[in-house]
Structure 1
Amino acid sequence: MRVLLSVAASLDGYIDDTSAQRLLLSNAEDFDRVDQIRAESDAILIGAQTLRTDNPRLLVNSAQRRAARVAQGKPEYPVKVTVTDSGDLDPHLNFWHTGGDKLVYTSNRGAAKLGNRLDGLAEVISLGERLELPRLVEDLGTRDIHRLMVEGGTGMHTGFLAADLVDEIRLAIAPILVGDPAAPRFVGPAQFPGGVGRRLHLAGVEKLGDIAVMNYLVNPGTHPDN
């Protein structure tokens, strides 16, 4: 499976501020770029905290791109995936009521708390006593998920990178400074594979209006479509 981590951040590394309103870091061109990546993905994943905070629909918005997916024999929408250890998920969120299939990965504790709350809305998969991301990726692979797009938030970015599960990072940098230490950052503290000296491969830089999009390959040469 190929895992692509997609994120928009401020110049000083924040993905949001601490206000009640979502900080819009992307512009129209960048939103369209992200929509294209979604259309190319078999599944899109976000963490439960992002789900609760942003209440996203997480859809492919372009009708043309959805039609192209169907013409290729794919579902109209990618599978939507979320991850929760606590099981604290509101069944009224937009995530459950738009798009195609939904999967929830959790622990035994989270599954017990969820009970039948998401019946008819999503498939709940318990990964056992501990919610381990490598096992999540392995399970997705058994479901014919070949391209996974991870859209956040900080916990998911950090977890996937620390577990060395990411093949590619698309990092959009907005010309904004947040400067609030309480605001969420791109990644949190972790032990990352290769240590501090590890350098990722910069495969490209794209200018979209006032946003710079950097494409980093984490393990160059491991996939034929690099």
Structure 2
Amino acid sequence: MIQYLSGVVHPAIFGERKDLLPEPRPDLGVMLTPAMGNRPDLSSTAWAGDNACFSDPEGFTVERFTEWLRSMAPWRATCLFAVAPDIVGDAVATWQRSAPVLPLIRSQGYRAAYVAQDGLEKQSVEWDAFDVLFIGGLTAWKLSHHARELTDEARRRGKPVHMGRVNSKKRLRTGSMWDCTSVDGTFLATAPDHNLLRLVTWLDELNREPSLQLGGAHQNGRAA
């Protein structure tokens, strides 16, 4: 099963819009950041903690992020991971920024996610330093064979893999084909009720009938 973590908090995800979703879904959760200000009941909803260093660079500090993680401790049991800060498109700078924060995330009882960025295939990956591989990077690299090989290696090591910026059926299918365990995106930012129903249909196709959806794709090669 692949889980979709929405960067847009929709009440139906928490069972508050039964006209749209009769029951919460285990394959549908949320991606939260300290900058969002949302504090929904996450007792039975999967979520992940992003640091917002890209979307809110002026507001990001390691201290603010770790304090926010402490405040989210009541819902730690349903948290899939928390993301160490990164630098978009730069694997070397990302490691320098992430390395001190990964143990801080772990020390609070969360799984630490490390964001793979352009050029990571040229580096020695410190696999034991993190618990989840987050496929980031610029779009061309994110969909490259380098990212796919890193995903395969993470799964061989028993580590979950998350893919960021998934806002289409095609990209969601790619994440599923690559054996990612979760993805996130802001697909619900526009026409949220309508697009929620579309997203649920996609998840049903991938999670309930994977052999029908993915078999042909594997025969025809990797999706872009």
- TM-score computed with the length of structure 2 as normaliser: 0.40
More strand as a share of residues: 1
The higher-RCO structure (CA 8 Å, 6+ apart) is 1
More helix as a share of residues: 2
